[in-house]
């Protein structure tokens, strides 16, 4: 029977780690004392096995379990359950990584566009993509649409709603999406570009699926969704069955420090259908280290049989001045997202947006020079 290899970082004394690892294997498979397992099928196939233990230091160990893929049944929620259901309640256990069998991934949505698909839509191949953010929430629909228009004139590839924009009375989803999409189309007619608008989709399944219908009706070009906020099972169903455009994953509520960000954002969000993955970049408002950010980007882009690459989108307090450094760090396979700093330009928003876009183009050219 095919197995998923799941790696945890476990805090335990060296003398105890073998017993602790065995308990973990019970907890994440049969969830009973060992002596309750009397059935041969359960013992041979369902029971988790300790595959390896590697000590990191006196206190921390990397434990890899082999868990039966059949217990996960190709379902998102059940996969999370088997990876980290009860053990998430154990303070000494962190979920670090998982390796899935080749035939496992076909159960899930996976990126439908991926990096290549996004590039084709934006007609941009030899440079990082660029992204701006519509905010603050509380502005009326007309003000948001006007911002959209100016960002698009400035030439960014993608304009995303602030993830705080939902279906509030002051800028209802339907009216906002219609107005912003029209504003972007108007700018596109003037510039000849194909800037995409990605509205923020938030809600329960019924609302999300209604929002997806509106996106289709209006011909909206992308969608922004926070998988941890709406729930990963809904996210996957939304992507697989309701959205026909690239999906940008937002990290809101994903900051459960107990799941390694590179695994959660870079691998799971990708497996479940994100074409691009936003994450808090180092040196901004958030405390992720450069190494952690590189690991997220690496996981999002790494070759994975049957699963398209997803575009890394470092964000959170980025500025135009940092563009050369960011391109130096991530190369061209990235989308740079600048939010508040473009908005701070006030009336000069379009000019600063254009500076951003041009700076990216220049840095990219330098990078591909011999």
Interface with a copy of itself, residue 82, by CB under 8 A = yes
Binding a copy of itself by CB under 8 A: which of 35, 189, 369, 370?
35
Q: What is the DSSP letter of 264?
A: I
Reduced to 3 states (helix: H, G, I; strand: E, B; else coil), residue 65 is: strand
Structure tokens at 259: 């799941």
Q: Which CB, 5 or 77, lies closer to a copy of itself?
A: 77
Smallest separation, CB 50 to a copy of itself (Å): 17
- Note whether 155 and 354 are within 8 A (CB): yes
For strand 247-249 and strand 223-225, is the pairing parallel, antiparallel, or unpaired? parallel
The residues in 5-34 that bind a copy of itself, with binding defined as CB under 8 A, are 23, 27, 29-33
Using CB under 8 A as the binding rule, the residues of this chain from 264 to 303 that contact a copy of itself are 280, 285-288
19 exposure class (CB count in 10 Å sphere: 0-12, 13-18, 19+) = exposed
Site for a copy of itself (CB under 8 A): which residue of 92, 112, 294, 354?
92
From the CB of residue 125, how many other CB atoms can be counted at a distance below 10 Å? 10
Closest approach of Cβ 279 to a copy of itself, in Å? 8
Tokens of 107: 């159960």
d(CA 226, CA 208): 12
| Candidates 83-91, 149-157, 186-194, 292-300; binding stretch for a copy of itself (CB under 8 A) | 83-91
Site for a copy of itself in 156-185 (CB under 8 A): 162-164, 166-170
Tokens of 331: 């190369």
Q: State phi, psi for 232 to the nearest 5 degrees.
A: -65, -35
How many residues form the binding site for a copy of itself (CB under 8 A)? 87
Give the ranges where the chain is alpha helix by DSSP (H): 17-27, 40-41, 76-84, 114-122, 141-154, 173-191, 205-218, 227-230, 232-241, 261-263, 269-271, 290-301, 323-330, 340-343, 349-368
C-alpha 130 chain-centroid distance: 17
Among 5, 22, 53, 86, binds a copy of itself (CB under 8 A): 86
Rule CB under 8 A: choose which of 5, 50, 53, 77 binds a copy of itself.
77
In the bound complex, what is the minimum distance in angstroms from residue 368's beta carbon to a copy of itself?
33
Residue numbers 199-258 binding a copy of itself by CB under 8 A = 202-207, 226, 228-234, 236-237, 241, 251-258
Q: List binders of a copy of itself among 96-135 (CB under 8 A).
A: 135
- Choose which of 114, 155, 312, 339 interacts with a copy of itself (CB under 8 A): 339
> Of 86-94, 152-160, 180-188, 216-224, which part binds a copy of itself (CB under 8 A)?
86-94
Q: Quick check: 141 binds a copy of itself (CB under 8 A)?
A: no
Of 113 and 288, the one with the shorter C-beta distance to a copy of itself is 288
């Amino acid at each position: 029977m095919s197995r998923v290899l799941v790696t945890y970082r476990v805090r335990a004394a060296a003398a105890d780690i073998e017993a602790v690892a065995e308990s973990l294997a019970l907890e994440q498979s049969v969830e009973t004392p060992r002596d309750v397992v009397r059935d041969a099928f359960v013992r041979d196939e369902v029971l988790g096995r300790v595959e390896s233990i590697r000590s990191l230091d006196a206190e921390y160990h990397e434990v890899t379990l082999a868990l039966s893929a059949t217990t996960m049944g190709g379902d998102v929620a059940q996969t999370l359950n088997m990876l980290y259901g009860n053990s998430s309640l154990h303070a000494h256990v962190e979920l670090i990584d998982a390796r899935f069998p080749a035939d496992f991934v076909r159960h899930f949505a996976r990126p439908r566009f991926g990096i290549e698909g996004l590039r084709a839509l934006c007609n941009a191949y030899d440079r990082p993509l660029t992204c701006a953010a519509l905010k603050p929430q509380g502005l009326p629909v007309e003000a948001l649409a006007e911002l959209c228009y100016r960002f698009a004139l400035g030439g960014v590839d993608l304009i995303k709603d602030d993830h705080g924009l939902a279906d509030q009375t002051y800028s209802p989803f339907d009216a906002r999406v219609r107005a912003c999409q029209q504003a972007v189309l108007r700018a596109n007619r003037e510039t000849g570009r194909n800037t995409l608008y990605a509205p923020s989709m938030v809600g329960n399944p019924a609302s999300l699926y209604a929002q997806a219908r509106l996106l289709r009706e209006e011909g909206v070009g992308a969608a922004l969704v926070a998988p941890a906020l709406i729930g990963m099972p809904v996210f996957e169903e939304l992507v697989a069955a309701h959205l026909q455009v690239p999906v940008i994953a937002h990290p809101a509520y994903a900051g459960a420090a107990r799941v390694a960000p590179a695994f959660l954002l870079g691998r799971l969000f990708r497996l479940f259908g994100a074409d691009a993955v936003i994450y808090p970049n180092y040196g901004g408002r958030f405390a992720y280290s450069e190494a952690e950010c590189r690991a997220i980007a690496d996981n999002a882009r790494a070759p994975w049989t049957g699963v398209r690459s997803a575009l890394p989108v470092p964000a959170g307090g980025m500025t135009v001045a940092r563009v050369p450094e960011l391109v130096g760090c991530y190369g061209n396979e990235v989308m740079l997202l600048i939010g508040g700093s473009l908005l701070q330009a006030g009336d000069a928003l379009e000019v600063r947006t254009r500076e951003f876009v041009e700076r990216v183009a220049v840095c990219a050219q330098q990078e591909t020079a011999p």
